[in-house]
Amino acid sequence: MKWLLVTAMVIATVLGDLLQSHEMKRAGEQSVSARGFARLLHVIAQRRLLILGIACNAVSFFSFMALVQTEPLSFAVPASSASFVLETLLAKFVLHERLGARRTAGALAVLAGVVLVGG
Amino acid sequence: MKNLTVRSGALLKTYSILLFFLALKAAGNSAMAWGMKQVPERMSMNPALYLRAMLNPFVAMGVVALILALLTRMALFSLADLSFVLPVTAVGYVIAVFLGKVFLHETVTHRRWLGTLLIFAGSALVGSTSSNTTRSSEVSA
C-alpha cells in the first residue's frame, strides 16, 4: 500500500506541475495583485489542462496525507523528492528548458538537502 | 539598454512573486499546523472531519493562505521555468526549519542543518541562472 501511495503521489505531482508550467507559459505573464488573481482564476476556468493540473495537485496532496498517517515523515519526504528528479528531467525533454551545468548542480544540491532534511 | 531594463523588470517581478509565495506558504503551513493541534478529532478518510476542522479560524486562515500560495505559484510558472521554480521554492524547507527552531523550539540535528545548508546553496546556485529559457507563445494584457 505504501508504494502504491508513493507512486500515485509522484505521478500526480509530476503531471500536475508539468501541465501547470506548460499552460501558464502559454497563458502569458500573470501578476499577484487582487486583479491579477481574478485574471488568473479566469485563465484557469478557460484551460482544461490547467484544471487537470490542479486536480493532480489535489491527488498528490491527499496521497501525501494518507502516506504520513501510516509512514513516518522521514520516509514520506525523501520519497516525495523522487518527483523532483523526474520533473527536472521532463522539464528538459518535454518542456525544452535549458538546464545547463549550474542549474543541474544546484538542483542536485537541493535534492540532497531535501533527503537530509526529511531523513 | 531598453532590453536590459525590461529584463531586470521581469527579474524583479519573478523574485517578488517568489518571496510572496514563500511568505504565503510559511504563513499557511504555520497557521494550519497551529490550528490542527487545537482540533480534537483525528483525521481519517471522512471528508466531514476536514470540513469541521476548517471551522477552526487558524485552519481556515491556513487554507486561504495555501490556496493563494497555489495561485501565486501558478503566476510564477507564467514567468519562470519549471526547472527554476522547483529548486528555488525549496527554500521553503529552510524557512520551515528556521521557524520550527525559533518559534516551536524544535531540536534541529546536525544532519538537518547540513540539509538546510545544501538546499540554500543549491537554490542560490539555481537562482543565479536565467529564470526563463523558453518564451511565452501568447501574452495576456
Chain B closest-CA separation from residue A37 CA (Å): 7
CB-CB under 8 Å, B129 with A103: yes
ipTM for the predicted complex comes to: 0.89
Chain B nearest C-alpha distance from A76 (Å): 14
> What residue has cell string 503531471?
A15
- At B22-66, the pLDDT tens digits run 999 988 888 887 787 777 766 666 777 778 888 889 989 999 999
Interchain contact B66–A (C-beta under 8 A): no
Report how far residue B141's alpha carbon sits from residue B83's, in angstroms, rounded to the nearest whole number. 26
Task: Flag the least confident range among A106-110, B32-36, B121-125.
Answer: B32-36
* Candidate from B13, B73, B86 with C-beta closest to A84: B86
Q: Do B87 and A110 touch (CB under 8 A)?
A: yes
Whole-angstrom distance, CA of residue B79 vs CA of residue A86: 21
- Pairwise CB contact (< 8 Å): A110 & B17: no
Greater confidence, A117 or B67?
B67
Per-residue pLDDT tens digits for A52-96? 999 999 999 888 878 877 787 777 777 888 888 889 989 999 999
| First-to-final CA distance of chain B | 24
Nearest CA in chain A to B10: A29
Residue B95 pLDDT greater than 50, yes or no: yes
Cell of A75: 520516509
Q: Helices A82-93 and B82-89: crossing angle, nearest 10°?
A: 160
Whether B115 sits inside 8 A of A110 (CB atoms) is no
Interchain contact, A106 vs B123, CB within 8 Å:
yes
Pairwise CA distance, residues B54 & B34, whole Å = 12
